[in-house]
């Protein structure tokens, strides 16, 4: 029978177990903060459209109408309606997305996507410091005049433009949980170092921020991140001038970075500690570079010995695994985003990031329930479970979400991944139809299963 109260089926739409991370109250607050709350009842209210954008990121291979059906199927019976809800047309859905804009999705991301690891989370902290990393990537967007003008595209080898415009994205991620906690989006021509300056607001004291040498070349960015109170551990380029001011017993030495403005005028001098080390990799050829230089704001060797920091630096590759989850498994390999307008592109990107965060939150809960490292929880298994929970029509009921969450935790925990082998260098991949990057026979047995953190790393004494 139809319920006594004058309720709408759209008010019960949610994203399954992921609703625990993005409850209706948070979504409504984000919509109100963005000034997008509707003045009259609509077939597609703002909250429903927010959940729909999140569902677009869950069902990347489905069309507009099919994604909406995944959201509402099963809800008619549970809410007491006699007949099913009429699915809006693609045109109506597009208009609703345009009416919403990207601000509510950005507000959801800013409010909910924060570091989630606790002291008991395996691999998330080093001597009380939360391990974080920054890195960047590019996303293909539909080839429309508006997207091309807004974002631009890279130039191909023959001087022609690439097939699709691209968005450049730089993020701040938690190494232990793969939770993306800060993001900066811009045109392709905007450099990663420039975009990374927008992440300063997300960096806090108590963090140990890791970054590769692409960011280490910007001393202004390094100084801005250090001013937040966080500790830094960045690799620098071989051309960086780092004078030896004081040698330490662990092989590291104190040096300084001269911060200059765009006109090469000295702004300040920042004291740093430098660690130089080599990697003993049996799969490397003798001609490959094996010497690395790291700079850190941790000046006391007793607080963080050089060999431990050198062994810790590869944790920054967890961000690359995060990108693999986001771009390969959740979105699909070589899949172009749907949105044909810049506003829709930004909305869709925030939808992908919010959905990925909610899945990772589910995985961290599974890891805590089973007392294992979050690395052992399968992302694809969690993704499939999240999709099924949406189709089941759980709705916004806290009791129903709690029951479904308990069942999903048990299901995902029944099949954990084997413990990941530690590594001191990036994985070796043999590209298709290429004579470069050939995987050598020694790589079949390396890294060794018994490899420990820091093994294969040799810290070099200061010159």
Please give the pLDDT value at position 14.
85
Residue 421 pLDDT > 70: no
- Segment 28-54 shows an average pLDDT of 89
Of 84-93, 183-192, 345-354, give the lowest mean pLDDT range.
84-93
Residues 370 and 373: their CA atoms lie apart, in Å, by 9
Please write the tens of the pLDDT for every residue from 252-276: 999 999 887 777 777 788 999 999 9
Please enumerate in sequence order all residues whose Cβ is within 8 A of that of 40, keeping only pairs 6 or more positions apart, or say none.
none
Neighbouring residues of 1: CB distance < 8 A, sequence distance ≥ 6: 80, 82
How do residues 65-85 score in pLDDT, each as one tens digit? 999 988 887 675 555 555 556
Check pLDDT > 90 for residue 293. yes
Residue 434 pLDDT > 70 = no
Query: If pLDDT is split at 50, 70 and 90, which confidence band does 460 have?
Result: confident
Give the pLDDT band (50/70/90) at residue 427: low
Q: Percent of the chain scored above 90 by pLDDT?
A: 65
The pLDDT of residue 157 = 57
CA angle 451, 456, 458 (to 5 degrees): 150
Give me 161's structure tokens: 């433009």
Distance CA 158, CA 141 (A): 21
Q: With 50 as the cut, is the pLDDT of residue 383 above it? A: yes
CB 372 within 8 A of CB 416: yes
Two tokens at 123?
Answer: 């691999």
pLDDT digits (tens, 9 = 90+) for 97-145: 999 999 999 999 999 999 999 999 998 999 999 999 999 999 999 999 9
Closest CA to 141 of 346, 367, 336: 336
Q: Report the chain's terminal Cα–Cα distance, integer Å.
A: 82
CA 390 to each of CA 29, 146, 299, 381, 384: distance values in angstroms, whole numbers, following the listed order? 22, 33, 50, 15, 10
Please tell me the predicted confidence (pLDDT) of residue 159: 57
Return the higher-pLDDT residue of 300 and 3: 300
Q: How many CB atoms lie within 10 A of CB 418?
A: 8
Summarize the confidence of residues 375-389 as an average pLDDT: 94
What pLDDT was estimated at residue 459?
87
Contacts of 362 (CB under 8 A, 6+ apart): 17, 18, 20, 21, 382, 385, 386, 405, 408, 409, 412
**If DSSP codes are grouped into helix, strand and coil, which group holds residue 207?**
strand
What does the pLDDT read at residue 42? 73
Going by pLDDT thresholds of 50, 70 and 90, the confidence category of residue 4 is: very low
By CB neighbour count within 10 A (0-12 exposed, 13-18 middle, 19+ buried), where does 198 fall? middle
Output the pLDDT for position 175. Answer: 95
Higher pLDDT, 434 or 295: 295
Q: Is a pLDDT exceeding 70 seen at residue 206?
A: yes
For residue 442, the model assigns a pLDDT of: 45
Q: Where are the domains of the chain?
A: 1-112+378-420
In this predicted structure, the answer to whether residue 192 has a pLDDT above a threshold of 50 is yes
Residue 294 has pLDDT above 50, yes or no: yes
pLDDT for 393 equals 81
Amino acid 441: pLDDT = 46
pLDDT of residue 461: 80
Query: pLDDT tens digits for 216-264?
Result: 888 999 999 999 999 999 999 888 889 999 999 999 999 999 887 777 7
Residue-averaged pLDDT of the chain: 86
- Structure confidence at residue 376 as a pLDDT band (50, 70, 90): very high
Helices (H), 329-439: 342-370, 379-391, 398-413
Greater pLDDT, 198 or 5: 198
Q: Considering the chain, what percentage of its residues have pLDDT values greater than 70?
A: 83
Of the listed ranges 5-9, 116-120, 146-150, 268-272, the least confidently predicted one is 5-9
Least confident of 28-37, 64-73, 277-286: 277-286
* Cα(33)–Cα(108) distance, integer angstroms: 10
């Amino acid at each position: 029978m139809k319920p006594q109260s004058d309720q709408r089926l759209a008010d019960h739409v949610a994203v399954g177990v992921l609703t625990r991370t993005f409850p209706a109250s948070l979504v409504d607050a984000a919509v109100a903060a963005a000034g997008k709350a509707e003045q009259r009842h609509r077939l597609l209210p703002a909250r429903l459209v927010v959940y729909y954008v999140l569902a677009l990121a869950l069902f990347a291979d489905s069309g507009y109408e099919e994604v909406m059906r995944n959201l509402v199927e099963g809800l008619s019976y549970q809410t007491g309606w006699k007949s099913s809800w009429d699915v809006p047309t693609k045109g109506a859905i597009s208009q609703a997305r345009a009416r919403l804009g990207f601000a509510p999705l950005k507000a959801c991301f800013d409010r909910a996507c924060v570091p989630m690891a606790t002291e008991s989370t395996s691999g998330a902290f080093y001597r009380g410091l939360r391990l974080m990393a920054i890195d960047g990537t590019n996303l293909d967007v539909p080839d429309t005049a508006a997207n091309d003008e807004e974002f631009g595209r890279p130039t191909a080898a023959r001087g022609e433009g690439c097939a699709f415009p691209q968005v450049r994205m730089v993020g701040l991620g938690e190494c232990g949980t793969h939770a993306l906690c800060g993001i900066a989006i811009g045109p392709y021509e905007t450099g990663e170092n420039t975009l990374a300056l927008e992440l300063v607001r997300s960096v806090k004291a108590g963090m140990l921020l890791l970054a590769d040498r692409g960011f280490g070349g910007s001393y202004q960015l390094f100084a801005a991140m250090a001013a937040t109170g966080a500790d830094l551990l960045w690799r620098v380029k071989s051309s960086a001038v780092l004078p030896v001011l004081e040698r330490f017993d662990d092989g590291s030495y104190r040096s300084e970075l001269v911060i200059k403005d765009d006109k090469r005028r000295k702004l300040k001098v920042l004291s740093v500690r430098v660690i130089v080390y080599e990697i003993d990799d049996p799969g490397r050829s003798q001609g490959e570079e094996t010497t690395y230089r790291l700079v850190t704001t941790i000046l006391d060797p007793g607080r963080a010995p050089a060999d431990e920091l050198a062994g810790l630096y590869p944790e920054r590759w967890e961000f690359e695994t995060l990108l693999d989850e986001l771009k390969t498994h959740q979105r699909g390999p070589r899949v172009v985003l749907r949105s044909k307008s810049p506003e829709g592109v930004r909305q869709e990107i925030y939808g992908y990031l919010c959905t990925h965060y909610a899945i990772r939150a589910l995985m961290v809960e599974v890891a805590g329930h089973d007392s294992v490292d979050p690395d052992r929880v399968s992302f694809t298994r969690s993704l499939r479970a999240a999709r099924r929970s949406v189709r089941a029509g759980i709705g916004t009921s806290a009791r129903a979400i709690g029951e479904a969450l308990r069942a999903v935790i048990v299901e995902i925990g029944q099949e954990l991944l084997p413990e990941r082998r530690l590594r001191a260098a990036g994985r070796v991949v043999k590209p298709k139809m290429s004579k470069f990057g050939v995987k050598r026979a020694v790589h079949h047995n390396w890294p060794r299963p018994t490899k420990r953190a820091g093994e294969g790393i040799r810290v070099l004494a200061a010159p």
